[in-house]
Structure 1
């Protein structure tokens, strides 16, 4: 097929996620390498969101490609009950990268079923059924993960399953209180969470689930002391702490896992995306040794045909080794400083930029109508005039590919981007923000 045929056929026969189908406009991709991809007319686009913040090592990484090819030559699939070298080796590798309290991994297909199985495991282990998660969160769109999700993408699943309780993020920029410090904010948010735990009954609560750093809902970085405070609440009330590292894991923030920044040890960690960079679908649930030991004598009522798929695990093993062998974490920490400086400059320069938030190569630009009042450019859960879609389209016209959510633009390029590439692309963002200034 040529490009036009691909687009027409896909629009006719394939349903596009999160879209009214009439307006879908897929770019037919002819080739891809590094941080770039090309359409059938030879136009080059820069991937500034790592696709769906998962393509951490960019397109066509030869090490990952070769690992998949080698596994194809051995065998492509084995039942999860059989022994597979890549499955065994990747599980060992992951646990060795985790804190010393972690014990075993249950492999899944992606992030949504990782979060669903984490909830199941927490409920089986604890004997309790309520699960806390935050309003500005996305944990997946399947039924269980969608109930865990707090933002508007959960609405299509409602009325939902019982036992899913929402609480508020430590979203200081949008808080009505003008906190004097992060420490004061942390004390406030922890006190409200503790109060809600008491109202819901600690003996009923199996787990508190959090994106370690809220992802597509705004890259909301917890204030100082917040995650250790949640850990302390979990310990006080016998609640499991689950960190969703689906988006922040595997080097995105400059650490292998984002919770390392905050010096906490979760009881359960979910992951996907960057474990294979999407080359083959794979996710997983890492559990503490205590939880792993529980299932020595108790049936683990979790199962997936493709759990620990050999191709996925082979890709995962190559990917995880590459992060260390290529010094990706150090690179992200260094270039993340450059990104931070650029973002702060944009915040100072543009009336439409209310706030910027960033850690490593994980960043968000929050757009407002008025810096003083912090009125968002579009209201929460609504964009009746398609303003954010228009802005993303303006960036697309400059071949800067990313996405928006609510009033936020995501900037999360592949972890292999260099300073020259970053500067070139963020100049495009600067140009578009000048146009947004005029819109407001």
Structure 2
């Protein structure tokens, strides 16, 4: 591992810092002191994205023709490190720019990319990913949303679930089943669609945190032109893998309450009249999380070093996500315990640490599902890192319409 920037990387980092110092501290970008509506947050996020776009800092690794900068992978990492030091709103664009954009650039026509990618890069258009289904669980290929050819169009019927940001998205990428007579991975076809198309119904899902980040999306005779198909008919799994590989990079670390925050809380909280930081059990917990934090830091450093050398990282991001998401949930839970009665309060304005640990505890379960469940990631690590035998898949070569589906 090399923890030092090259001369060129140091110059790029200095340029990024200068831009952020000038623009990321603007009042219309800073989080408000009081409560903020979802509409106000979205408007603030779009303002920040457009500022980046206007000054050449949006979607750095994309081609310039699509609104990017043509930057190297390591420059993208450096930018993420520097932007991460500021509390600027970027979340609404993560799925579109991190997953949908790369898939479009790999499979859409040049004319489509020339038209749609700059709008995505500037924040004018937001995209979502229509993959998961109620009956599919973590098995994406076990999807039932149907697409049937009708002249130059495809007619879509079915349901997606857990679609992040669908309620404010302009476009989405969609994988469907077009041939149920072949094994499940072979009968899929991939599209992109306008989320305002007739027949698309979006229902936000109320979460335990009180927010509604996820949605159910229903398709009733939705027509999509064949020109909006990505990849060949029946080749949707191949296109989906492109999206999923980029999802591993986009989801990555689970950000939120961490070791430094727990140390600060332990210094303020008390146990039996003594500072919590003096309690041996509390210190042992913090030590464990510090070891995990250090391991994550050096694992990410290996990724950065590989990118700097022009190499493609291995499965490190699966390891990063599985460790960081569980750590986030544990720290959130322990923080609420240390706050005692303060831990059950609601409202960031009243809660200790502005609800940081409450937010971590409520959000972490979703992170442990998004971008691959813990179980899926463990399988990836076992099979692709440790070389262990794959799980037995009894439906691997069975036509999809012959696979038992239970009562429906």
Greater helix share, 1 or 2? Answer: 2
Fold equivalence (TM over 0.5): no
Larger-gyration structure (1/2) = 2
Normalised by the length of structure 1, the TM-score is: 0.28
Greater strand share, 1 or 2? Answer: 1
